[in-house]
């Protein structure tokens, strides 16, 4: 996998797109709230993600991870609060923000009658990749993601894991500075999951930024430099793994997570049964 990443010049080319003159956080969230009727799905959260960080947004089911990512990618509007992406206010500069970010939703909608190549070309066009560069850019991504054999087949013939791979590839097509990935390894086989983890690590080495949600703590523990834990819409912990370990006096992220989300007692009980 590593060799594949090294050989592909896509990441090298990404480097050119990183501008270090912007002195701001990659993501700056202030007092963000989103209600669905009476339900407060995201409850006055504030946090920052630095440029070049691989940031894990963790939490149990229903905690508010997907709602947060949908706000930050402009899919839905917050009820109150604000967010800036590389210094651009999400509500004031939505198009600028969209040009900077890539996004893989938790449950993607794909156009089944398109081939993988056509779909990636379509996404590249949406992101204003010039027509003259598109075919080359799409081919690079196809090669990088190991989609060569299936590239010209219709998406309806793809397995769930393969579809996920295509939607992950689409997040990178316009060489974004920041990618938002909602449960990126869900439904992937071990080899592809490993590839994605390696890709994300290489991506941030270029100074680019990753914001990913996951409920798989092992993945966060392996690759995320910094994590936030959200529970019932509120951020209950944020920091590097070592900071959280020191604060909670526990080593494994699973133990920290279960303690903070109030499930450690059940786990301790289970040990003795």
User: Which stretches of the chain bind ligand ADP, using CB under 6 A?
Assistant: 36, 39, 41, 59, 61-67
Q: List, in order, residues 6 or more apart from 68 with CB less than 8 Å away.
A: 29, 32, 34, 42, 45, 57, 213, 230
Stretch that binds Mg ion, among 62-70, 114-122, 161-169, 186-194 (CB under 5 A): 62-70
Burial of 67 (0-12, 13-18, 19+ CB in 10 A): buried
Burial of 50 (0-12, 13-18, 19+ CB in 10 A): middle
Stretch that binds Mg ion, among 7-15, 59-67, 184-192, 240-248 (CB under 5 A): 59-67
Binding mask 99-118 for Mg ion (x = CB under 5 A): -------x------------
As measured in angstroms, the least distance from the Cβ of 269 to ligand ADP is 25
Q: Is 67 in the site for Mg ion (CB under 5 A)?
A: no
Nearest residue to Mg ion on Cβ basis: 66
Taking the least distance from each CB to ligand ADP, the nearer of 65 and 127 is 65
Taking the least distance from each CB to ligand ADP, the nearer of 21 and 38 is 38
Taking the least distance from each CB to ligand ADP, the nearer of 52 and 59 is 59
Whether the CB-CB separation of 236 and 260 falls below 8 Å is answered with: yes
The token pair that represents 234 in the structure block? 């509120």
Taking the least distance from each CB to ligand ADP, the nearer of 63 and 179 is 63
Whether the CB-CB separation of 252 and 221 falls below 8 Å is answered with: yes
Q: Is 66 in the site for Mg ion (CB under 5 A)?
A: yes
Phi then psi for residue 101, to 5 deg, are -110, 155
């Amino acid at each position: 996998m590593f060799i594949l990443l090294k050989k592909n010049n896509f990441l090298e080319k990404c480097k050119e797109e990183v501008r270090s003159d912007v002195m701001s956080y990659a993501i700056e969230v202030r007092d963000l709230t989103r209600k669905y009727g009476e339900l407060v799905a995201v409850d006055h959260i504030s946090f920052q993600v630095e440029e070049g960080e691989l940031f894990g947004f963790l939490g149990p089911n229903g905690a508010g991870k997907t709602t947060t990512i949908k706000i930050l990618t402009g899919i839905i509007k917050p009820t109150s609060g604000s967010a800036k992406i590389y210094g651009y206010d999400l509500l004031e500069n939505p198009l600028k923000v969209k040009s900077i970010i890539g996004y893989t939703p938790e449950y993607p909608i794909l156009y089944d009658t398109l081939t993988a190549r056509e779909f990636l070309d379509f996404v590249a066009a949406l992101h204003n990749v010039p027509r003259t560069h598109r075919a080359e850019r799409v081919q690079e991504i196809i090669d990088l993601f190991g989609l060569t054999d299936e590239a010209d087949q219709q998406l309806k013939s793809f397995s769930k894991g393969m579809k996920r791979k295509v939607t992950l590839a689409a997040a990178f097509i316009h060489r974004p500075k920041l990618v938002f990935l909602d449960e990126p390894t869900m439904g992937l086989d071990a080899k592809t999951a490993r590839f994605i983890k390696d890709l994300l690590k290489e991506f941030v080495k270029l100074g680019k930024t990753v914001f990913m949600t996951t409920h798989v703590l092992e993945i966060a523990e392996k690759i995320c430099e910094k994590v936030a834990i959200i529970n019932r819409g509120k951020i209950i912990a944020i920091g590097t793994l070592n900071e959280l370990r020191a604060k909670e006096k526990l080593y494994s992220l699973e133990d920290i997570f279960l303690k903070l989300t109030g499930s450690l007692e059940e786990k301790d009980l289970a040990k003795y049964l």
